[in-house]
Amino acid sequence: MKKILIVDDHADIRRLIRMTLEFEDYDVREAADGEAALALAQDFQPDLVLLDVMMPGDINGLDVCRRLRAAEAPGRGPRVIMLSARGQASDREAGLQAGADTYLVKPFSPLQLISCIGELWAAA
């Protein structure tokens, strides 16, 4: 069973994503901020992290992504899909530079998310 970590400070967005993923056989966990995400990722060892960029606290999504990538053995860490309302080319580039596999702009449809996840699994 694939493991997915949802990281977003908005509970309603986490709930929407969880409901979208319930149709598949995933073990899903949630974190509301960057610090909780890093702690949970260490214990949970997700296959995929759905990661909001803008979160409260000292650690934003870009920082979380960089730390996840720094802590992993090459090619062994989780896939990362950045989720953000910021959709400018520079925002996307910052996400990819931080180590994200792809960048999805909010609002996105459940079908877009499922498609994006499917493409990542297919490429693995």
Which residue ranges make up each domain of the chain? 2-123
- Average pLDDT per consecutive 10 residues, the chain (124 residues; last block may be shorter): 96 95 92 96 95 93 95 78 93 95 94 94 83
Distance CA 95, CA 60 (A): 11
Candidates 3.40.50.300, 3.40.50.2300, 3.40.30.10, 3.40.1190.20; CATH matching 2-123: 3.40.50.2300
pLDDT digits (tens, 9 = 90+) for 93-107: 999 999 999 999 999
Q: Is the pTM of this model over 0.85?
A: yes
Peptide bond into 110 cis (omega under 30): no
Within 10 A of 66 (CB to CB), how many other CB atoms are there?
Answer: 15
Round the CA-based radius of gyration of the chain to a whole number and report it: 13
Runs of H (alpha helix) within 2-109 = 11-21, 34-44, 61-71, 89-98
